[in-house]
Amino acid sequence: MKEYLYFADEDGWKKWLEQNHATQNEAWLVHYKKHTRKTGITYKDAVGEALCFGWIESLLRNIDDEKFAQRYSPSKKDSYWSEANKKSAETMIAQGRMTEAGLEKFRQAVESGEWDAAAPRRSSDIPHDLEKALAANRKAQDNFRKFPTLRQKQLIWWITHSNSRQMRQDRINETVRLAEQNKHNSDN
């Protein structure tokens, strides 16, 4: 059973990260869903603070009708930097909020090329690697093109927000599999 952390604001999360970022390998942070109108640390603030310590967000786990937990963990050398995280990290650096641990992860990402791996694109553009995988499977390609536009965008977002190249490839493979079977509902 995972231990869930709850913080009323980003100060509590920041203090936890200050004390634990170098020794823990993950944290499951509780966020309230918008419809509840309950207060707590916002997703945006939590991600920004995590980036300051070289941590990134990944898995999301539904807890109940009011809450979900987001997994945060230290960024790895091959971690994929989404455009949103890149912008947030640049903001934190400009504001002088980035810690040495966060700056080190930033430098690693730039040096390894991962920083530039996520080229900005419109959300409806099919990424080259997905396009190539679909082209190799004509049935999947035809079905994917017939998916509702919103579902295509959801799958593209899911792929482009992967945290590593391996995760991205796994998500591309899963998307091709679903498209081949013409399964475009999110419940599949």
pLDDT, tens only, 66-113: 999 999 999 987 777 778 888 899 999 999 999 999 999 988 888 877
Whether 150 is in a domain gets the answer: yes
Whether 38 is in a domain gets the answer: yes
Please state, for a pLDDT cut of 90, what percent of the chain lies above it: 53
Alpha carbon dihedral 112, 114, 119, 124, in 10-degree steps, equals 160
**Domain enclosing residue 164, as ranges:** 128-180
Cα–Cα nearest to 80, from 156, 166, 22, 152 = 166
Q: Are 9 and 87 members of one domain?
A: yes
Total domain count, the chain: 2
Pairing of strands 4-5, 27-32: parallel
Whether 187 is in a domain gets the answer: no
Whether 149 is in a domain gets the answer: yes
Whether 23 is in a domain gets the answer: yes
**pLDDT of res. 69:** 92
- Model-wide pTM > 0.85: no
- Using DSSP's 3-state secondary structure scheme, residue 50 falls into helix
Q: Are 71 and 97 members of one domain?
A: yes
Q: For the chain, list residues with pLDDT below 50.
A: 1, 121-123, 188
Whether 188 is in a domain gets the answer: no
Whether 16 is in a domain gets the answer: yes
